[in-house]
Amino acid sequence: MLKVRYWLLTGAAACALSFVQAPASAQPKPKPAAAKPAAKPDADPAKPNLAEAKQRYTAGETKFKAGDFAGALSEFQAADAIKATPQAARYIALCQDKLGKYAEAVTSYERFLADVPEKLKGEADGIKKRVEEIRAMPGKVKVETTPPGAQITADGKPVPQPAPTEIELPPGKHTLLFKLEGREATDRVVDVAYASTQDLKVDMKELPPPPAPAPAPVAKVETPPPPPELPPEPRSMVPAFITGGLAVAAAGVGTAFGIMALSDKSDYDKNPTAEKADDGENHALIADMAFGVAVTMGVTSAVLFLTRDEPAAPKAASVRTVVAARAKSKPVVSAAPIMTPHGGGAGALVRF
C-alpha cells in the first residue's frame, strides 16, 4: 500500500512539472469572456408605488380613528393619488363630510357608489341615504346692503332680520326683494346650491327727488245770476182817495166857516158888538184852518196819485223778504199842525 501511494504521488508530481515546463506557444489562447447582462433596477417608475400607497392608507386610518379628519384626508388623498381605489374614495368622502365639505363629499361618495367592493356592499345603502340628506341641505346667502338696514322679502315671505344678515334657502332659484326708505326697491335672483354658502351685496339707489308740485288750479267762482227783477207792484190808491176826500171835506168846512165869517162881518158892520166881532174872528180862524187842511190833503192826494211806482227791491235782498216786508207794511196817518201868517190849522200826515 505504501508503494502504491508513493508511485501515485510521484506520477502526479511529474505531470505537474511537465505542464509547468511546457513552452508558452504550446498553450491554447483563452476565449473572450461573455458580456454579463445589466442588473435590473429596483423599481419601475411607470408602476405605482404600492408600498407607499399602503403606508399612506394605513396612516390615514389611524388619524381617522383618532378624530384627526383633516390629517386623515391628506393621507387618504395621497394614497388615492398613487392608486385610486373605492376604499380610499369612501374614506375621503367620510373625511370631507366630517369637515363640512359637503359638495366635495357627495362627489367622493358617488365615486365610491360607482364601484362598491364586495366587502363594503353593506355600507352602500347608508351612503346613498347620506347623499340624499346632503342634497336636501339648505344653502346660506350672506346679504349686505349699501346702506344697511334694508328689509328683505324672500319669495314673498318677509325675513325677520334686516340686512346685513344670513338667510337659509332650500336648493334652487329664489327671488329676494330689498326695500329701504328713501331708496329704490331692488330685487335679485339667486341660485342656491345645496349645503353652500354665498355672498350677496346689493347697492340701494336713492329715489329721485319728487317732481315740483303743479300749481293748484284756480277755482272759478261762479257768480250766481242776479235774481229776476220784481215787477213793480200795483200801488193801492186808497190812501190817495182818503187824502183827497179829506181835502174836499176840509175845503167844505173852510168854505162854510168862511161864509159864516163873512156873515158875521156884515152883521158887525150893521150892528158892531163885541160878540159879533169874536164870532167873526173865530169863524175866520176855523175857515183858515180848514182851508189849510184842505190844501195839505189836496197836495198829499195829488202826490199819491202822480208818484211813479217804486223800483224793484235791491238785488241783495231776496224776493221773499221784499214781498214779506211789503205785505206787513200798513199806511200810518197822523195829524200835524199847520201855521200860516194869518192863522193856524191842522193837517194829516200819511206814512206808508
Q: What is the pTM of this model?
A: 0.46
The whole-number average pLDDT for the span 126-141 is 94
Of 262 and 163, which is predicted with more confidence?
Answer: 163
pLDDT tens-digit map of 227-248: 777 666 666 777 777 887 887 8
Number of Cα atoms under 13 Å in the Cβ half of residue 183 = 19
Whether 347 shows a pLDDT value over 70: the answer reads: no
Cβ–Cβ contacts within 10 Å for residue 92, how many?
25
Give the helix ranges, DSSP H, for the chain: 2-21, 50-65, 69-82, 86-98, 102-114, 124-135, 238-270, 274-306, 319-328
End-to-end CA gap in the chain:
213
- Find cell 387618504 and name the residue: 76
Residue 327: pLDDT band (50, 70, 90) is: low
d(CA 58, CA 63): 9
Whether 104 shows a pLDDT value over 70: the answer reads: yes
pLDDT, averaged across the chain? 78
d(CA 164, CA 150): 8
Determine the pLDDT at residue 32: 47
Determine the pLDDT at residue 289: 84
pLDDT tens-digit map of 134-186: 999 999 999 999 999 999 999 999 999 999 999 999 999 999 999 999 899 99
Backbone angles phi, psi at 64, to 5 degrees: -65, -45
Whether 322 shows a pLDDT value over 60: the answer reads: no
d(CA 300, CA 265): 33
- Look up residue 24 and give its DSSP letter: G
Determine the pLDDT at residue 343: 53
Cβ–Cβ contacts within 10 Å for residue 103, how many?
14
> Residue 74 corresponds to which cell in the numbers above?
391628506
| Spatial CB neighbours of 127, under 8 Å, sequence gap ≥ 6 | 90, 93, 109, 112, 113
d(CA 219, CA 77): 86
What is the distance of C-alpha 301 from the center of its chain? 85
d(CA 279, CA 267): 10
Whether 299 shows a pLDDT value over 90: the answer reads: no
pLDDT tens-digit map of 1-60: 333 343 333 343 333 333 334 333 344 444 444 444 444 444 555 677 989 999 999 999
